[in-house]
Amino acid sequence: MGLSWKQKVFLALLGTAVALGLTALVLVLVEAVNVLLPADTKFGIVFDAGSSHTSLFVYRWPVDKENGTGVVSQALACQVEGPGISSYTSDPAQAGESLRGCLEEALALIPEAQHRGTPMFLGATAGMRLLSQKNSSQAEDIFAAVTRVLAGSPVDFQGAKLLDGQDEGAFGWITINYVLGLLIKYSFSGEWTRPLEGTLVGALDLGGASTQIAFVPGGPILDTSTQATFHLYGSNYSVYTYSYLCFGRDQMLSRLLAGLVQSPSASLVRHPCYHSGYRTTLPLASLYESPCVYSAAPQNLTQNLTVEGTGDPGACVMAIQELFNCSSGQDVGECAFDGVYQPPLWGQFYAFSNFYYTFYFLNLTSRQSLGTANATVWNFCKEPWKLVEASYPGQERWLRDYCACGLYILTLLTEGYGFSEETWPSIEFRKQAGGMDIGWTLGYMLNLTGMIPAEAPAQWRAESYSVWAAGVVFLVLTLVSVLGAAAVQFFWPQD
């Protein structure tokens, strides 16, 4: 017996529904493969040529999400052996040669086929800024030597540049807010949205020669020379940022010691920031090499200076306070120190670099109160040198300076930047966030490669929905197939 016209129609409908369902299944599987298989990866290299050392960072990101947020990861962090490049004034060629070891590590990590397409940058900060002030020809020779080595590598070297202090602070701000996903977020509704007001964090950086502060204040920035403006992902940001040259860790220590020298002919200095029982001798000439040391140099720089520690934190704080000029008198509003305008502090802050390293050593990175931090540093300063040496074997290089650095950080953050007992808990002392070292290098690379677009690309939403849309189509068509089969069963003649 032949099929009735109704049976033929429902069979045709059933076949069509099954075919469409299979097509949708193929589509969703193709999309799933595209998502699950590793996307092509791009790389970027940044050298951070600081005052005391140089570091190399390799970053990587999936090509299909190049303008996404939070998709860049840190693939390598390498510390170059030796001092910062600004130290090679007597042998500029060695400044370039010193970079080869970390460069070779980076090239070994990145697939050879991608070398030519990998951008590489070198940014020099406060150490080279000081050298440029002191002797511009020496600075140019060092940059030339660095450029010769890096330009000879197989990657796309974009040049060695001197960062000004404002850029250093601003790129640090971009880095931390990008890594934390605070510039833009992907919502459950499938849209890229700007995070709520007030969620942005500030950046506090303490290097060897300078310190930077950057944050978005709660009100207007009245001194435009301290303002950096960005248009990122469709939003405008006005960031207060300032860099204090000569207020970095190493320059502070030199200025502090020079200030304790009572007279040009002195051969002995009693240092309240060094532990009692500590004693060292150093060439007097080394103390006056930096342009940050404003004290008049003695005529006889060939003599040595003996330094004895007294372990007196109270006297140490007083000596540190002499480094600051906290007099106000600014017409435009608040004054932090050194006659510089600063709006009132606002929001959370991440303190990194030497802020973190010093407080990590002192076990103060767990959101302790300001009172606890003060007591911890003061008690450490009072410990005799022999006890300190015995308690921290293998750390002799920096050990004598942790007392001075700890008290300096407390003074800088409270009397300099204006943190109080109430606002102190807003500071997090961190080395990393999201598995990445915090600093200016990531923000610098993101800016130069255009990886943070001014506007949020409209296709992001469509791309994000592609797999889910295919899945919905598949489910709908499968339902049609089931209904068609049920209908045929219903109308099919029963034996």
For position 113, what pLDDT does the model report?
96
The set of residues, in sequence order, having a beta carbon less than 8 Å from that of 299 and lying 6+ positions away, is: 264
Nearest CA to 11 out of 474, 473, 495, 491 is that of 491
For position 117, what pLDDT does the model report?
95
Mean residue pLDDT across the chain = 85
355-400: pLDDT as tens digits:
999 999 999 999 999 999 999 999 999 999 999 999 999 888 889 9
For position 455, what pLDDT does the model report?
79
Q: Which two tokens mark 126?
A: 């406060």
Predicted TM-score of the model (pTM)? 0.84
For position 328, what pLDDT does the model report?
46
For position 416, what pLDDT does the model report?
94
For position 183, what pLDDT does the model report?
87
Q: Which two tokens mark 142?
A: 């060092």
3-state secondary structure of 104: helix
Burial of 74 (0-12, 13-18, 19+ CB in 10 A): middle
34-53: pLDDT as tens digits:
444 455 899 999 999 999 99
Question: 206 forms bridges with which residues in the sheet?
Answer: 211, 353
For position 453, what pLDDT does the model report?
84
pLDDT band of residue 8 (cuts 50, 70, 90) is low
The active-site residue, picked from 168, 197, 421, 463, is 168
For position 153, what pLDDT does the model report?
98
Does the pLDDT at position 316 exceed 50? yes
For position 24, what pLDDT does the model report?
56
For position 60, what pLDDT does the model report?
96
For position 467, what pLDDT does the model report?
43
pLDDT band of residue 430 (cuts 50, 70, 90) is very high
Does the pLDDT at position 104 exceed 90? yes
149-199: pLDDT as tens digits:
999 999 999 999 999 999 999 999 999 999 998 987 665 565 666 777 678
Q: What is the mean pLDDT of residues 446-454?
A: 88
Of 27 and 40, the structure prediction assigns the larger pLDDT to: 40
Backbone angles phi and psi of 168, in degrees to 5: -60, -45
Pairwise CA distance, residues 235 & 326, whole Å: 35
For position 464, what pLDDT does the model report?
43
Does the pLDDT at position 418 exceed 70? yes
Nearest CA to 316 out of 240, 389, 400 is that of 400
pLDDT band of residue 2 (cuts 50, 70, 90) is low
Amino acid occupying residue 368: Q
Question: 306 forms bridges with which residues in the sheet?
Answer: 268, 281
66-91: pLDDT as tens digits:
777 778 999 999 999 999 999 999 99
Q: Is 383 a catalytic residue?
A: no
236-285: pLDDT as tens digits:
899 999 999 999 999 999 999 999 987 666 789 999 999 999 999 998 88
Pairwise CA distance, residues 269 & 305, whole Å: 7
For position 331, what pLDDT does the model report?
46
